[in-house]
Amino acid sequence: MPSGADEQIVKQILWGIETGRMNVGEQLPSAHALAAELKIDINLVAKAYKELEKRNKVETERMADHTEVLFIRKPPKPLYKQVFMQVFCAISGNRFIQQILEKIVDISQYAMGIGSGGYPLTSGERAIFSLLRQYISPPYCIFDAGAHKGHFLKLILDNLSTEDYQIHCFEPGRSTFQFLERNAPADDRLRLNNTALAKERGKTILYYDDAGSGRASLTPLNMAHFGIEFNQSESIQMDTVDHYCETNRIDRIHLLKLDIEGHEMDALMGALGMLDKKAIDIVTFEFGKSDVDTRYFFKDFYYFFTGKGMQIFRITPSEYLMPVESYREINEQYRTTNFLAIKRGIII
């Protein structure tokens, strides 16, 4: 490591704090461990840590075994902010103000796209097609997984009516698929598949509360708090993106849309071959209440897509694509939200 190693350590830790890659309360490695990892004098690490303490960026805590451990320090609020928060918290300690605050949060989050992703025609997903036309040349190959009764398909047809395209729709439920067939136009460029996209091929069970329900999932969702019971099911067929592409000689997917009630990550596992070949340009996926039952976190999607060299955006009802530049716990919002992951190199 070059001279000024202590300064570089300070800069790297400050950068980590500013970008959110290092969180408040996160423990720093001991001076001995970091010196060994970087192959530098332990005194340089100690000097860097002392400088960070002087700047109030880290703090020392004595543990039960009497060792001293450094943690990222929560930045102190200016005095006026401290006073404001004390007063605000004091007056908000009642049911009426708490209900108002909840309503404000609800409205704010909706405008951010959190909880507004349930219906394609009002969710802001129209922005996807402007992006597609701007950066990718037709003919387009589009996969619509979780096509349901054809709402997203209608959005595709309305926005790409003058373009050359091939659309592959996937809807596993028998009753819902019949709705899709009735709603879809007769067009050789449109292929309807009565199957689910998943992480493996074969048969499985689709659970739902009513025939044609938009809540149908490969997991029996627990929605008892809404008075909804998943008391119906049927056997369905599963395929993977990779196998379907190989069988149908598809070498590129320009848009892969996933709205499959908590099993979006499973479909991505079945598309690893295409993703590893960078043969999928744009993925849109839903994240919301179903992911509670399937036990997925937004963190899983963030690291999956960034690991594949893709950048993530949150889709807002205004059709603005808000970049998700780093993972933060605030991203874990289990209300229906649409995200877009785009291959780096396609510049927004």
CATH number at residue 54: 1.10.10.10
Q: Is residue 293 part of a domain?
A: yes
Q: What's residue 28's pLDDT?
A: 85
* Mean predicted confidence (pLDDT) in 209-216: 91
- Helix, strand, or coil here: 179? helix
Q: What share of the chain is helix, strand, coil (3-state, %, to 5)?
A: 40, 20, 40
**pLDDT value of residue 2:** 43
Residue 43 placed within a domain: yes
Of 174 and 118, more confident: 174
* Number of domain units in the chain: 3
Asked whether the predicted pLDDT for residue 122 surpasses 70, the reply is yes
The set of residues, in sequence order, having a beta carbon less than 8 Å from that of 246 and lying 6+ positions away, is none
Tokens of 231: 């008391």
**Same-domain check for residues 143 and 102:** no
Specify the pTM: 0.79
* 233 lies in some domain: no
The enclosing H or E element of 95 equals helix 95-111
CA distance 5 to 51: 13
My answer on whether 252 and 173 are in the same domain is yes
**Residue 284 contacts residue 144 (beta carbons within 8 Å):** no
102 with 66, same domain?
A: no
pLDDT at 67: 67
| Residue 318 is assigned to a structural domain of this protein | yes
E runs forming strands in the chain = 58-62, 68-72, 140-145, 165-170, 190-193, 196-197, 202-208, 232-239, 253-258, 280-287, 310-315, 321-324, 337-343
Residue 213 lies in a domain: no
The sign one gets for the Cα dihedral 257, 262, 263, 264 is positive
Residues 99 and 163 in one domain: no
| pLDDT of 323 | 95
* CATH number reported for the structural domain that contains residue 244 in this entry: 3.40.50.150
Q: CA torsion angle for 339, 344, 346, 348 (degrees, to 10)? A: 60
Within-domain flag for 281: yes
Gap between the Cα atoms of 216 and 27, Å rounded: 43
Determine the average pLDDT of the residues in 223-238. 94
Main-chain phi, psi angles of 156, to 5 degrees: -60, -50
Q: What is the pLDDT of residue 77?
A: 67
Determine if the peptide bond prior to 78 is cis (ω within 30°).
no
d(CA 147, CA 205): 18
Residue 72 has pLDDT above 70, yes or no: yes
Together in a domain, 93 and 189: no
Residue 18 lies in a domain: yes
Q: Are residues 266 and 283 in the same domain?
A: yes
Q: Tokens 């927004």 sit at which residue?
A: 348
> Cα(258)–Cα(285) distance, rounded to whole angstroms?
5
| 57 to 6, 17, 50, 71, 94: CA distances (angstroms) | 15, 9, 10, 9, 35
Q: In whole angstroms, what is the distance from residue 243 CA to residue 143 CA?
A: 14
- Regarding whether 305 and 264 lie in a shared domain, the answer is yes
Residues 196 and 266 in one domain: yes
> Which is it for strands 165-170 and 140-145: parallel, antiparallel or unpaired?
parallel
Residues of the chain with pLDDT > 70: what percent? 96
Are 305 and 189 found together in one domain?
yes
Residue 108 pLDDT more than 80? yes
State whether 186 and 264 are in the same domain: yes
Q: Are 195 and 236 in contact (CB under 8 A)?
A: yes
Please give the structure tokens belonging to residue 314. 């949150």
**Residue 314's domain spans which residues?**
127-200+238-343
Q: Would residue 228 count as lying in a domain? A: no
User: 186 or 64: whose pLDDT is higher?
Assistant: 186
Same domain? For 54 and 170 the reply is no
Both 261 and 143 in one domain: the answer is yes
